[in-house]
Structure 1
């Protein structure tokens, strides 16, 4: 398939894991990509692997509007257009119990995961209107059901609501907004937790956790003209984990700890 022939995408956090699989899929289908990452050396290396004709590496911190604007300008300057934005940057950066989370940590989580995606959309919109392009945001099953990580889940649920509202607002201009909600995916983020993926496998009816390529396939569909009449929707790519009882114990602790204690 050559669904991205002549098209240009920006993918955030694209030097490894899901983002890297997405840029590889887009290039394999004929597209050009701006590979962004918080680590400049990683972004440049990932782009070099794809070839200078097809990829440009740019350092981007999505909490900086200056960085985001520069990435969009780089896409236009190098490739002359922008057709697709894939919001992949984010992560679970709060590790405290929800009753102990400070306002500052709430702001950090939301700024990275939710507001970061909003910055990318705002910077790209004028160009996406010109190409009748689209945005695919990588959310999570945590934004759909209760799997813990309250602050992260709230940010991911916010991405879904934001995308629905943008879809309604910009649909008349031909710009689409959709969301992919992965379950557990085998990425380098799990390297520091030996055995965790094997334990989590038991949650999934399909008998395995996801691979980055599973998510890239969904992004390629929603980001292409194959999904030309789909907007404002969330596609769970989650091995069936949303189909049955949640095995994670989310009951409150015997004693609640508050930030003031």
Structure 2
């Protein structure tokens, strides 16, 4: 695990949606290690509680807690935010991790309207609901970090998911302007292939490692470190940006580079 910068979030409260597994759980651990009081919000509240119980050093209770949250349901999102405020009297950081994609036909291969709408709702409207509910409560110096994808920046398939993740880029740019006068920042991280549960129903993600200039796929802690940076005062003059956390794949997949006659050390 990447070394945390102890104390960057002391006295601050962070709400992490999708915090029970994968990138969300790694982010919970990272923010907690750096001093934040963390509310772990997830559709699976039992898994969220297990994520809380697994935090080191016995820092549970007021230092971390779980709440049920379905980001496709406005009332559920609003309850998660109000519960956070009721428990801790403040909210400083929102991290929107919840989202995902499944195995389904592409847009030109028979994807129906219901599947399209569900993908866009989960991956674009859902994070927007969370921002809408949380942003009015964030103080000056507050931060929002949304988890996008390299799919939103370059063609990698999964059209509904990719279009939604591209929408997060524009959403963050627009809201950075709207929120900037209040001293609230909003940014996006765009991971490449990361070892998470979503790959269990698809394929072995390590087979894609050879595409990455750094020679491996990502781990949840890789993304959590970037999220913590953007949420912290170390990024106090950064807003409206999308930060790829992608092992270099957007710079150029290795196979493509080598097909053009590239070489160099590997």
* Structure 2 spans left out of the alignment, 5+ residues: 1-5, 257-266
Alignment partners' CA distance in 2, 1:216 and 1:204: 19
The alpha-carbon deviation at position 95 of structure 1 amounts to 1.2
CA RMSD of aligned residues (A): 1.5
Give yes or no for contact 1:11–1:35 (8 Å, CA) kept in 2: yes
Alignment partners' CA distance in 2, 1:111 and 1:93: 14
Q: What do residues 197-238 of structure 1 show as CA deviations (whole Å, max 9, x unaligned)?
A: 221001101010000000000000000000000000011000
More displaced stretch, 208-217 vs 48-57: 48-57
Residues 235-246 of structure 1 aligned to structure 2 (within 5 Å):
235-245=243-253
Residue aligning to 2:113: 103
Aligned match of 1:20 in 14, 17, 25? 25
Residue aligning to 1:259: none
The alpha-carbon deviation at position 160 of structure 1 amounts to 0.9
Alignment partners' CA distance in 2, 1:76 and 1:131: 16
The alpha-carbon deviation at position 192 of structure 1 amounts to 3.5
Give yes or no for contact 2:7–2:35 (8 Å, CA) kept in 1: yes
Alignment partners' CA distance in 2, 1:97 and 1:234: 25
* Structure 1 spans left out of the alignment, 5+ residues: 249-261
Give yes or no for contact 1:94–1:151 (8 Å, CA) kept in 2: no
Residues 39-118 of structure 1 aligned to structure 2 (within 5 Å):
39-50=44-55, 51-93=60-102, 95-99=104-108, 100-118=110-128
The alpha-carbon deviation at position 190 of structure 1 amounts to 1.9
| Number of matched pairs | 246
Residue aligning to 2:153: 144
Residue aligning to 1:252: none
Aligned match of 1:221 in 212, 217, 229? 229
Alignment partners' CA distance in 2, 1:52 and 1:247: 49
Alignment partners' CA distance in 2, 1:101 and 1:188: 23
The alpha-carbon deviation at position 241 of structure 1 amounts to 0.4
More displaced stretch, 87-96 vs 145-154: 87-96
Residues 128-167 of structure 1 aligned to structure 2 (within 5 Å):
128=138, 130-167=139-176
Q: What do residues 41-98 of structure 1 show as CA deviations (whole Å, max 9, x unaligned)?
A: 1112212223113111011100011111111111111111001111101111361121
TM-score, normalising length: structure 1: 0.91
Alignment partners' CA distance in 2, 1:95 and 1:226: 40
Give yes or no for contact 1:94–1:152 (8 Å, CA) kept in 2: no
TM-score, normalising length: structure 2: 0.89
DSSP 3-state at the match of 1:85: strand
DSSP 3-state at the match of 1:185: coil
**1:8 corresponds to 2:13:** yes
